[in-house]
């Protein structure tokens, strides 16, 4: 089996399920899934993600409703607008692109989204259910990481996993998902002591810190599985947290950037959208 994990190929498998779901809706004259993309300002990363979502939606026959606001929109006006989008019965899921401008409280904004339309798992209700082991929408990047690991010919149970990063959208949910698969998980961060030694013990290393090429071969034991979640523009190229050329010599499996986790993330978002659509009938 090829050691470089092809996120694009795996995404196509999940897209087949979405295509079949949409065909079933069409055959029974049911409304097709619809997503609302909410963005404030002109952040480059948000623009890139929004365009990638739109492109995939077009391919899969998913309706897109864009709500793009000026950077200086008043907080109350924005919050009222998000609430109105959430109350639209023809919208099944909402993706709020981050970051929001500093004058808008992101927690207040997220609070305007109902649990059933929170397909990226950001609301307190979904987070609470997720960490208590109940069915919930979860952040799509974390969902993509698990899908990649489950596609490999390995058992997750009992594996020593190191997750490098503790963000609410990647590090923490990835750790929780892998604990749910009975792996032994260590979550590392900027205050972790002896980081190289800790990482070197990992059977599976998940890097999600946003520092280009930070992980070299001194962090990785031979035969480890390395999942690179990082995406940073470095010297004009999209680059991961892992020094791919170095680490790929040691790893048994490794995800590239681009073409790895990111290639699957948008598909996992739309998979959650279809679930929300099914619940919304």
- Is 175 flagged in the annotation as binding? no
- Is 167 flagged in the annotation as binding? yes
pLDDT computed for residue 235 by the predictor: 87
Maximum distance among all Cα pairs of the chain, rounded to whole angstroms: 59
- Residues 258 and 207 placed together within one structural domain of the fold: yes
Reading the block at residue 208, the tokens are 């999600």
pLDDT computed for residue 44 by the predictor: 82
pLDDT computed for residue 6 by the predictor: 96
Which residues span the domain enclosing 189? Answer: 140-262
How far CA 40 is from CA of 54, 72, 180, 251, 266, in Å, comes to 17, 8, 35, 40, 20
pLDDT computed for residue 248 by the predictor: 97
- Residues 148 and 257 placed together within one structural domain of the fold: yes
Residue of 14, 12, 15, 21 lying closest to 278 (CA atoms): 21
pLDDT computed for residue 1 by the predictor: 63
What do you get for the CA distance between the two ends of the chain, in Å? 41
Cα separation of 237 and 36, whole Å?
29
- Residues 41 and 153 placed together within one structural domain of the fold: no
- pLDDT (tens, 9 = 90+) of the chain, 281 residues, equals 689 999 999 999 999 999 999 999 999 999 999 999 999 999 887 888 899 999 999 999 999 999 999 999 999 999 999 999 999 999 999 999 999 999 999 999 999 999 999 999 999 999 999 999 999 999 999 999 999 999 999 999 999 999 999 999 999 999 999 999 999 999 999 999 999 999 999 999 999 999 999 999 999 999 999 999 998 888 888 899 999 999 999 999 999 999 999 999 999 999 999 999 999 87
Among positive and negative, which fits the CA dihedral 275, 65, 81, 90?
negative
Q: For position 72, which CATH number holds?
A: 3.40.50.10860
Q: With respect to residue 194, please indicate whether it lies within any of the assigned structural domains.
A: yes
Is there a contact between 241 and 207 (Cβ–Cβ < 8 Å)? yes
- Residues 223 and 166 placed together within one structural domain of the fold: yes
Quick one: the chain helix, strand, coil %, rounded to 5? 45, 15, 40
For residue 238, report the phi and psi dihedrals to the nearest 5 degrees: -70, 120
Q: How many domains is the chain built from?
A: 2
Question: Which residues are within 8 A (CB) of 111 and not within 5 positions of it... i.e. 6 or more apart?
Answer: 123, 124
- Residues 68 and 145 placed together within one structural domain of the fold: no
Pairing status of strand 232-234 against strand 184-188: unpaired
- Residues 92 and 180 placed together within one structural domain of the fold: no
Strand, helix or coil at 25?
Answer: helix
Residue of 96, 98, 92, 133 lying closest to 111 (CA atoms): 96
Reading the block at residue 177, the tokens are 């998902």
């Amino acid at each position: 089996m090829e050691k470089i994990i092809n996120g694009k190929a795996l995404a196509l498998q999940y897209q087949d399920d979405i295509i079949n779901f949409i065909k079933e809706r069409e055959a029974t004259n049911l409304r097709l899934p619809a997503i609302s993309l909410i963005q404030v300002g002109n952040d480059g990363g948000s623009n890139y993600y929004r365009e990638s979502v739109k492109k995939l939606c077009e391919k899969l026959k998913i309706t897109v409703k864009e709500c793009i606001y000026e950077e200086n929109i008043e907080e109350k006006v924005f919050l009222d607008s998000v609430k109105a989008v959430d109350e639209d019965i023809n919208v099944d899921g909402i993706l709020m692109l981050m970051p929001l401008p500093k004058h808008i409280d992101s927690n207040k904004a997220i609070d305007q989204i109902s649990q059933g339309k929170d397909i990226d798992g950001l609301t307190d209700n979904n987070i609470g259910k997720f960490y208590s082991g109940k069915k919930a929408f979860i952040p799509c990047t974390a969902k993509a990481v698990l899908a990649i690991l489950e596609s490999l010919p390995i058992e997750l149970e009992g594996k020593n996993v190191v997750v490098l990063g503790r963000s609410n959208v990647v590090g923490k949910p990835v750790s929780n998902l892998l604990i749910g698969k009975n792996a032994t998980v260590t979550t590392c961060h900027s205050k972790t002591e002896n980081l190289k030694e800790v990482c070197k013990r990992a059977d599976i290393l998940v890097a999600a810190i946003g520092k280009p090429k930070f992980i070299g071969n001194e962090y990785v034991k031979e035969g480890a599985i390395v999942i690179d979640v990082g995406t940073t523009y470095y010297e004009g190229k999209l680059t991961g947290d892992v020094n791919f050329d170095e680490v790929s010599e040691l790893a048994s499996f490794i995800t590239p950037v681009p073409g790895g986790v990111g290639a699957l993330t948008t598909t996992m978002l739309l998979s959650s959208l279809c679930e929300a659509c099914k619940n919304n009938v």
